Structure 1
Amino acid sequence: MKRIFLAAAAAFAPSLVAAAPSDRAVELSKSLIIVDGHVDAPTSIAEDGADMATGNKAVDFDYPRARAGGLDAPFMSIYVAAKYEDTGGAKARADILIGLMEAVEARHPDKFAIAYTPEDVRRLHEEGKIAMPLGMENGSPLEGDLKNLKHFYDRGVRYITLAHSKANHISDSSYDEDRRWGGLSPFGYEVVDAMNDIGMMIDVSHLTDESIEDVLSQTRAPVIASHSSLRHYTPGFERNLSDNLVRKIGENGGVVMINYGSAFLTEEANRYNDPRNAAREEQEAEMGRPMNDEESAAFNAAWREAHPYPFAGLEDVLDHIDRAVELAGIDHVGLGTDYDGVGDSLPIDLKDASSFPTLIDGLLARGYDETGIEKILGANALRVWEEVESARKKRKW
């Protein structure tokens, strides 16, 4: 499951109680449109039976907490694991998850609605409903056929993260040592053109630096990094964006949407597992064999107890926002929390979808005015979405 991908480090979340947000922050959270570039609630529904309406079995996102935090438009991640590239069934898996979102809308029309356009987001904000735009994480469901791009657009998908944890038939992945394409594949270039044609946003999160450079050289529309933070704070972690790429995404007109996972925010959290893994390998060498599952679980639990996880905090998120603004400009920074996708590794004070007023207080304390806060919370993402729509041209499928 996706949310264990980065979260093995963080079994014990701190029980600190955040200070109550200011009245001004709460008011801004209600009046301004908040867009979250990446929420993995569909996987929580599919694998855990989570109920977004009531919060039953929900992880970080549900209706009560989204309303409390003022979250208006979380992009629901149609996450398809990298394994489907090899096993087949990627398109079917994506269709199942989209169907789950359609079911949420049908069962709770007073609370949720799929958003197909920025205008839908604004209308639903006025109606007091949670807009659910869809973003597909991993391009494997295209299965090498551009007709499938039209299929998913018609079902509501408005961005595609071209690859996930492994290289696929579209692009190399920052998590994969297999750099088979050296960037985009030949089909990947076709996908970029076709996404421009149909008016679908290209998401460069998870891609290698070379792949992002290829996308930026090919696209005629702005791109997004739906849930990526800055490599400046996590040296060597290619999944985050280099300063150079942050600048280039700004020059492209796109938006960098900051990921909340602690491993994305600080070097200490990012490297938390390294000494644990080394200690386990040393113990296995003494044992003369690998640990079995039970032994490994016990070892990990003992390690976590002896070495508490170094959770990031609000100030770390603000540092990433500040640097992204410095590099790309205030018009090119947004939020992509990765709620439901990074396990228990979320920062202190920003543990779930109710915490946006706390972030707003932090932005106010850093000197951002209301116009800048509005852009970071959602206006930048909506502007990119609109520009991508305007860049499309008619095409016969």
Structure 2
Amino acid sequence: MGADKQYDGYQPYDYLEAGEDYRTFPLSSKTAGFPPREIELTSEEEARVDDLTDDTVLSLHEHAFQFPDDIDEDLFDYIREGRIHTAYEFLAETSLDAVFDMQLDGLSSVHSLNGWKWDDITHEVSMRACDLMHSDYAFQCRTVDDIHRAREEGKLAVVQCVESAAMIENELDRIEQLYGMGVRSMGITYSASNALGTGGGDIHERDGGLTGFGVKAVERMNNVGMAVSVSHASPQTSLDVCEVAEKPVFDTHALAQGAGMGARGTSDEVFEAIADTGGVVGLLSSTHLPDIETYMEHFEYVVDLIGIDHVAFGPDVLYGNHTELLRVLSSFHGMELPESTLESEYVDGLENPTEAWQNIPRWLVANGYSDEEIRKVLGGNVIDALEQIW
């Protein structure tokens, strides 16, 4: 995390008058009521963690903002207010120099009930960008040099991302418009199929894979310098993307079929295809997992499969009650989630970005990984890929 964090106390939308210029909501605390956990280390190991996190620490996938304290009551009113609150104060307590922030994605429903509309996504991207421009601590990340600057200056580079390209519809030029707004990573699909390809949650009798338009979209993203992610895409779509991409491909957050996730996880074949592009897989924390130890079983499985040069961390956590959020969303969309999704109220040791990025480096040190290996998975691997992509 380079220099000591230079957080200046800025709160989201401080340039306006809360309660007058926009409606306010009680927001979640850092822990959302769950007991925090810190992996215990010896004093020698503590010193080693401090040294290792002086180098770049980067998360490949988070939702780096606060949800309402009462998700059941306030979630949709909070979203439709159109001002999501980046958790500057909490993020300043982490070792992060850069974070791939996936924003609200399909929950971006300021103007519609169903999300993923162009007006909804661009509203959120631009509103968050405006707020970042008023913070002296966090700033919008557009280049690899921005990540290095954040580390050197004790600041946070926020990479604005979206998890699906659904909102570009059949307009390739919208990729360039999003890039111009600051978006530097985009997924192909988010579970549901779209004009680019088959979604991971939308496979019926067959997996249609990447469409012809999807091939053109991957090419345009490569040309403008926007990272391509296959998270939530179908297996065939993911394989097709890896085949046609001319630059490294990401899966920003994934769990492994072979480490116990079954059909809900990603196959060895897809992981290997991503690695063959020079890409990186970020490991996902999930309520399928009870604790950080189970999470790290997936990490070690993927490292053994594709090599440590192609693995990073994308916990996909947030500040709020993650399990309650899933319950509300499943009810709203009329979906029935697997029992295993809701069986853990929280993931012990990984419940929010502050806890996750405290414990991930500590676990790696406690479990005997070398300095070189730790520096790679904490940020070095992603930086190497971004040097080619951006």
TM-score range relative to shorter protein: 0.7 to 0.9
Task: Determine whether 1:251 maps to 2:276.
Answer: yes
Distance 2:187 2:237 in 1: 12
Larger deviation, residues 193-202 vs 87-96: 87-96
Asked if 1:322 corresponds to 2:300, the answer is: yes
Residue equivalent to 1:353: 353
Residues 1:15 and 2:35 aligned together: yes
SS in structure 1 of the partner of residue 97 of structure 2: strand
Moved more, 214-223 or 73-82: 73-82
Normalised to the residue count of structure 1, the TM-score between the two structures is: 0.73
Report the residue type matching 1:145 in the other structure.
E
In structure 2, relative to structure 1, the CA distance for the partners of 1:385 and 1:43 (3 Å cut) is: farther
Aligned match of 2:124: 97
Partners of 1:88 and 1:352 in 2: CA distance: 24
Greater CA drift, 229-238 or 320-329:
229-238
The amino acid that maps onto 1:134 is Q
**2:140 corresponds to which residue?**
114
Q: Which residue of 1 aligns with 2:27?
A: none
Q: Say whether the 8 Å CA contact 2:107–2:115 is kept in structure 1.
A: no
CA-CA distance at 1:378 after TM superposition: 0.9
Q: Which residue of 2 aligns with 1:51?
A: 85
Residue pair 2:253, 2:315 contacting (<8 A) in 1 also: yes
Q: Deviations over 1:217-262 (max 9, x none)?
A: 1111110001112111344334x21122212211221000001113
Q: Corresponding residue for 2:64?
A: 41
* Counterparts of 1:383 and 1:346, CA distance in 2: 33
CA distance in 2, matches of 1:179, 1:87: 25
The one of 119, 124, 131 equivalent to 2:157 is 131
- Give the ranges of 4+ consecutive aligned residues of structure 1 lying more than 6 Å apart after TM superposition: 82-89
Q: Which residue of 2 aligns with 1:335?
A: 313
CA deviations 1:139-184 (Å, max 9, x no partner) are: 0121211110110111111111111121111111111235786101
2:373 corresponds to 1:372: yes
**Paired residue type of 1:347:** V
Change (3 A) 1:216 1:159: same
How do residues 270-285 of structure 1 correspond to structure 2 at under 5 angstroms? none
Q: Distance in 2 between matches of 1:43 and 1:352?
A: 10
CA-CA distance at 1:75 after TM superposition: 1.0
Relative to structure 1, is the Cα distance of residues 119 and 346 closer, same or farther in structure 2, using a 3 angstrom cutoff?
A: farther
Give, in angstroms, the shift of residue 100 of structure 1. 2.3
Taking the aligned partners of 1:338 and 1:174, their CA distance within structure 2 comes to 17
CA distance in 1, matches of 2:238, 2:292: 28
Kindly indicate whether the alpha-carbon contact (under 8 Å) linking 1:167 and 1:180 is maintained by their aligned counterparts in 2: no
Residue 169 to residue 234, structure 1, CA distance change in 2 (3 Å):
farther
RMSD: 2.7
Shift of 1:14: 5.3
**Post-superposition offset of 1:118:** 1.0
**Residue 213 of structure 1: SS of its match in structure 2?**
helix
- Asked whether the 8 Å contact 1:204–1:223 carries over to 2, the reply is yes
**Amino acid in the other structure paired with 2:303:** V
Partners in 2 of 1:36 and 1:25 — Cα distance?
20
Is there any run of 5+ residues in structure 1 with no aligned partner, and where?
1-11, 53-61, 266-311, 390-397
- Give the letter for the 2:38 counterpart: A
Aligned CA distance change for structure 1 residues 346 and 223 (closer, same or farther; 3 Å)? farther
Alpha-carbon offset, residue 354 of structure 1: 2.1
Deviation at residue 82 of structure 1 after TM alignment: 8.6
**Identity across aligned pairs (percent)?**
24
TM-score, L = length of structure 2: 0.75
Indicate the structure with greater helix content.
1
Q: SS state of the match for residue 31, structure 1?
A: coil
CA distances 1:110-164 after superposition (whole Å, capped 9, x unpaired): 2110010111111122111111011111101212111101101111111111111
Equivalent residues in 2 for 1:135-174, closer than 5 Å: 135-174=161-200
